[in-house]
Amino acid sequence: MRPGSSLEIYGSLLLGLLLYLLPWAGVGLTFRPDFVLLVLLYWLIRAPYSCNVGMAWMMGIVIDLADGSLFGQHALAYIVAAFLALMYQRRVTLFNRLQQAGFVFALLIIAQIVLLIVKLFGGDQPSAWTYFLPSVTGIMLWQLVIYSKIKVSGDENRG
């Protein structure tokens, strides 16, 4: 499998960041998937040698800056998800698409739970159930991207 050049990786991360920075509002904001984490997970699973926990941490810090939120909370959530992705990376490449989607969904939820715990420690009140909607839209977006010919696992006919 072609591991993906660094230009592709950084380009897609930048694109994810730009999508995140779009002036979302109202319902769009409630449904907005976590683009950056999705891109990160994609590269962590597909090219674990050129993308690691440190990169996830950096992107988390950038998100915290853009967000104006507490420094390090997104970073912590992202590195937990990134670590789990790396730990099961070899198995995930053997999964079929449905299993992969389930795995990625679990990671998205875990990242959100870590974020929620940090926020609760920071004195926030628990949010409504819609807090987890971005994971649902995120996994839908993931499926859309995967079905549009970009494959995570290398066992199919694309090199």
Q: Binding segment for other proteins among 5-13, 49-57, 96-104, 135-143 (CB under 8 A)?
A: 49-57
Contact between 126 and 23 under an 8 Å Cβ cutoff? The reply is no
Question: Measured from the CB of residue 82, what is the shortest distance to other proteins in angstroms?
Answer: 8
Distances (CA, A) of 150 to 45, 60, 121, 126, 135: 13, 25, 39, 37, 20
**Pairwise CA distance, residues 81 & 102, whole Å:** 14
Query: What is residue 90's DSSP assignment?
Result: H
29 binds other proteins (CB under 8 A): yes
Applying CB under 8 A, the site for other proteins has a residue count of 44
Q: Which residues in 101-130 contact other proteins (CB under 8 A)? A: 118, 122, 124-125, 127-128, 130
Q: Return the half-sphere exposure (C-beta side, CA atoms, 13 A cut-off) of residue 51.
A: 30
Residues near other proteins (CB under 8 A) are 17-26, 29-30, 49, 52-54, 57, 60, 62, 65-73, 75-76, 79-80, 82-83, 86-87, 118, 122, 124-125, 127-128, 130-131
